[in-house]
Amino acid sequence: MTQSTGMTGLDIGASTGPAEAGLSMVIPDAGLRTRVRDGLEAVETLLRQAVRSSGYPFLTETSRHLVEAGGKRFRPLLVLLAAEYGDPTAPGVVPAAAVVELTHLATLYHDDVMDEAVVRRGTASANARWSNTIAILTGDFLFSRASDLLADLGPEAVRIQARTFERLVQGQIRETLGPEEGVDPVEHYLRVVADKTGSLIATAARFGAMFSGAPAWIVDVMVTYGERIGTAFQLSDDLLDVMSDSTESGKAPGTDLREGVRTLPVLHVLRSMGPSDGRLRELLNGDLTDDERHRETLALLRAHPAMERARADLRRWVSEARAALEPLPDQPATQALQRLCDFVLARTG
C-alpha cells in the first residue's frame, strides 16, 4: 500500500516536524491550528499529571506506558474542534479531552489482554512487558483517573460517560459472543464497531461542544458526526490491517488475521459464495498462527473483491459523517471536520 503523505498517521501532539505537517493538512487555518496545537499540548500535560500515582512509582510507570508511546490523539482533537462552536478556552474543554483519551487508553490495556497482543503502538504491550493482571489493573487505574477528572465537570458529564462506558462494554460482549442466530454477521460487526469505537468518539465531540457552551443543536450535530466518523475510522483500520506494510497502530500487517479477529473484509469473504473462494474460506476458518498459512491468507485477501466491498462500506460511513456537518456554519472548524473525513478515506489509499 502507498500511504498518504503526512495524513496517514495523524500524529498531532507535537508542534514541529511530521506531526505539525499532519496537523497542517487537517487544519489549514493558521489561527485555528495554533489554538488546537496549544490545546493538545495542554491535554498532554494533563494526561501525564493524571497517570501519576501519588504513592506507587511502579503504577506510574505502567500507566505512562501507552501515554508516552504516543498515538493519534484523535479524540482530544475532536473535543477541541467541537469546542470552536462555543468558547474554546472554556475551563472544562481540556479536562474533557483528557477524560476521553484516558478512557480510550484504559480500553487499550484491556483489549490487549483479551486479544493476547504483544505489540501496541510499536512497543511491547503492557501485558507482554509485565503480565495480564498488571495490564488489567493499570487499565482500571486509568478509568479511575478519568472518573476523578470527570467529577469536576458535573453530574451530566458523569451520566454521559457512564452511558458511553455501558456501550463500550456492550460492544465488547457482543464481539466476544458473536452474532445471534439469524443476525447478519456484517450488520452485527458494524453494531459492535459503533459501540466499541463510535460511542467514545461521539462523546468526545459532544463534550467539546457542550463544555464550550455551544448551542444544543450543535451538540446534537457533533454527536451524530462523531458516531459516524468514529465508525468509519475503525473500518479504515480494518482495511489498513490487511493492506499496509506496517500499520499506523504499530502492529504487523494481518495482526487481526493472526489473532482470529474477523474484521469487515473477512466477514465479506465469508459471506461470499464464489466458486473461487473455497481456499480462502478454508484458511480463514483455520489456524492462522502458522506463518506460511498467514502469508497465503493475507495475499488472497488483498486480492479479493471483499476489499472493495469493505471500502464501499467505509465510503458510505464517511459520506454520512460529512452529511451530518451540513447544518454547521462555514468556519475553519467545519472545514477541519470535513478534512477529517478526507483523512479517514486517505488512510487506506
3-state secondary structure 115-141: HCCCEECCEECHHHHCCHHHHHHHHHH
Q: What is the model's pLDDT at position 13?
A: 45
pLDDT digits (tens, 9 = 90+) for 206-238: 999 999 999 999 999 999 999 999 999 999 999
Euclidean distance between CA atoms 268 and 185, whole angstroms: 9
Half-sphere exposure (CA, 13 Å, Cβ side) for 234?
Answer: 22
Looking at residues 241-266, what average pLDDT do you find?
77
Looking at residues 8-37, what average pLDDT do you find?
69
Domains of the chain: 25-347 (1.10.600.10)
Residue 9 is classified by DSSP as S
CB 127 within 8 A of CB 117: yes
pLDDT at 33 over 90: yes
- Give the range with max mean pLDDT: 63-72, 124-133, 203-212, 261-270: 203-212
CB 231 within 8 A of CB 197: yes
The torsion region of residue 10 among left (phi > 0), alpha (psi -120 to 50) and beta comes to left
Confidence of residue 18 (pLDDT cuts 50, 70, 90): very low
Euclidean distance between CA atoms 256 and 179, whole angstroms: 18
Q: What is the model's pLDDT at position 8?
A: 38
Looking at residues 329-333, what average pLDDT do you find?
96
Looking at residues 272-298, what average pLDDT do you find?
87
pLDDT at 124 over 70: no
pLDDT at 205 over 70: yes
Q: What is the model's pLDDT at position 121?
A: 53
- Give the range with max mean pLDDT: 11-25, 207-221, 252-266: 207-221
pLDDT at 47 over 50: yes
Q: For residue 294, what are the CA distances in angstroms to 46, 196, 221, 224, 277? A: 42, 27, 42, 38, 16
Euclidean distance between CA atoms 55 and 278, whole angstroms: 58
Euclidean distance between CA atoms 342 and 147, whole angstroms: 33
pLDDT at 71 over 50: yes
CB 268 within 8 A of CB 306: yes
pLDDT at 318 over 90: yes
Looking at residues 227-250, what average pLDDT do you find?
82
Confidence of residue 57 (pLDDT cuts 50, 70, 90): confident
The torsion region of residue 17 among left (phi > 0), alpha (psi -120 to 50) and beta comes to left
